[in-house]
Amino acid sequence: MLGGKLNRTNVRLLRKAIRHPTRAVLRLVLRSRLSRISAEEDRQRLIAYLSDRFGADGPALADEYLRYPFRQWFEERRASLEQFRGPYRHGTTGRFGCEALYLLVRAARPQVVVDTGVLYGGSSSHILAALEQNGAGTLHSIELGRDRREPPHDYFVPADLRQRWTLTIGDSRRELPALLDRLGTIDMFHHDSLHTWDHMTWEFETAYPHLRPDGLLASDDIHGAATLRELLRENAFPAFCRRHGVQYASFFNLGVGSAAGRQSQGHLVDRSLVAG
């Protein structure tokens, strides 16, 4: 009976939990927090948000995503990762987060997007797929790097979506300021690299001044904590938004803040905006 449950993935997870018990506890807490949120209700809220906030036809975009051949390709690719012969890391954005990013980019139609934390390209490919459907826009990604035996960073990025993409390998602490200085103003920033409070906060503080007024600040893992001590603290994304008077909404584990009220570059925030 146990044999049926102990497939290759579960054995890997079990070994990991024994090697890193704290991480296993943090994962369990995150799972428990997310289990209290209905992904389907949040999906419907997101679809309504896209219509209200961007004047987009949210239901039509959701339908488009369901029919998009890229989605099917991606799901097959996700399943094939389990058969990968070399080492690979877990951490690819889940179904909800991938769809949400696609819908957000389709509705907001950003021209210049920056994201951190690519891993094998799960969330980046969804941003790229949406830019492709928009017919405009570029994505600039930063990723720390990988073991050479792992899947490549573009494992989840089909060849026909790569022309809108630049990937910088390096630590975002070093690469993000340089990239943002080169780009000047950006329309959207998405964080999915190191989810410690300090690093998330640093990335938001660094990217926010470059967002155009009304640009989007997005973050994965807004219910997670990187250490046991951080479990007792508010996640860095809502904390940043509150501090800067950024209006934000959360959909499952994704946070979306709007720089509405920003007047120009710099931390010029309309503090009368109600956070949350």
Ligand X SMILES: C[S@@+](CC[C@H](N)C(=O)[O-])C[C@H]1O[C@@H](n2cnc3c(N)ncnc32)[C@H](O)[C@@H]1O
- 120 counts as binding ligand X under rule CB under 6 A: yes
- 123 counts as binding ligand X under rule CB under 6 A: yes
Q: Candidates 110, 122, 151, 215: give the one binding ligand X (CB under 6 A).
A: 122
Single-letter amino acid, residue 131: L
Least separation in angstroms between residue 261's CB and ligand X is 28
Closer residue to ligand X in complex, CB, 97/215: 97
- 143 counts as binding ligand X under rule CB under 6 A: yes
Rounded to whole angstroms, the Cα distance separating 98 from 159 reads 18
Q: Candidates 34, 37, 144, 231: give the one binding ligand X (CB under 6 A).
A: 144
- Between residue 170 and residue 189, which ones bind ligand X under the rule CB under 6 A? 171-173
* Residue labelled with tokens 């826009």: 137
Rounded to whole angstroms, the Cα distance separating 262 from 211 reads 9
- 253 counts as binding ligand X under rule CB under 6 A: no
- 141 counts as binding ligand X under rule CB under 6 A: no
- Between residue 194 and residue 233, which ones bind ligand X under the rule CB under 6 A? 194
Rounded to whole angstroms, the Cα distance separating 208 from 71 reads 30
Q: Candidates 107, 108, 116, 257: give the one binding ligand X (CB under 6 A).
A: 116
Closer residue to ligand X in complex, CB, 95/173: 173
Stretch that binds ligand X, among 40-48, 61-69, 127-135, 191-199 (CB under 6 A): 191-199
Q: Candidates 50, 119, 207, 259: give the one binding ligand X (CB under 6 A).
A: 119
Least separation in angstroms between residue 115's CB and ligand X is 7
Stretch that binds ligand X, among 31-39, 45-53, 139-147, 158-166 (CB under 6 A): 139-147
- Residue 120 sits at φ, ψ, to 5 deg, of -110, 15
* Residue labelled with tokens 């000047």: 184
Least separation in angstroms between residue 167's CB and ligand X is 11
Q: How many residues bind ligand X (CB under 6 A)?
A: 19
- Residue 133 sits at φ, ψ, to 5 deg, of -65, -35
Single-letter amino acid, residue 64: E
Rounded to whole angstroms, the Cα distance separating 251 from 38 reads 10
* Residue labelled with tokens 């209200």: 52
Closer residue to ligand X in complex, CB, 132/154: 154
Instruction: Look at residue 1 and give its three-state secondary structure.
Output: coil
Rounded to whole angstroms, the Cα distance separating 128 from 165 reads 7
Half-sphere exposure of 109 (CA within 13 A, CB side): 10
Rounded to whole angstroms, the Cα distance separating 39 from 58 reads 16
Token digits for 259? 């720089």
Q: Candidates 26, 65, 88, 92: give the one binding ligand X (CB under 6 A).
A: 92
**Strands of 254-258's sheet, edge to edge?**
165-169, 138-143, 112-116, 186-191, 211-220, 254-258, 247-251
Contact positions toward ligand X, by CB under 6 A? 91-93, 116-120, 122-123, 142-144, 171-173, 192-194
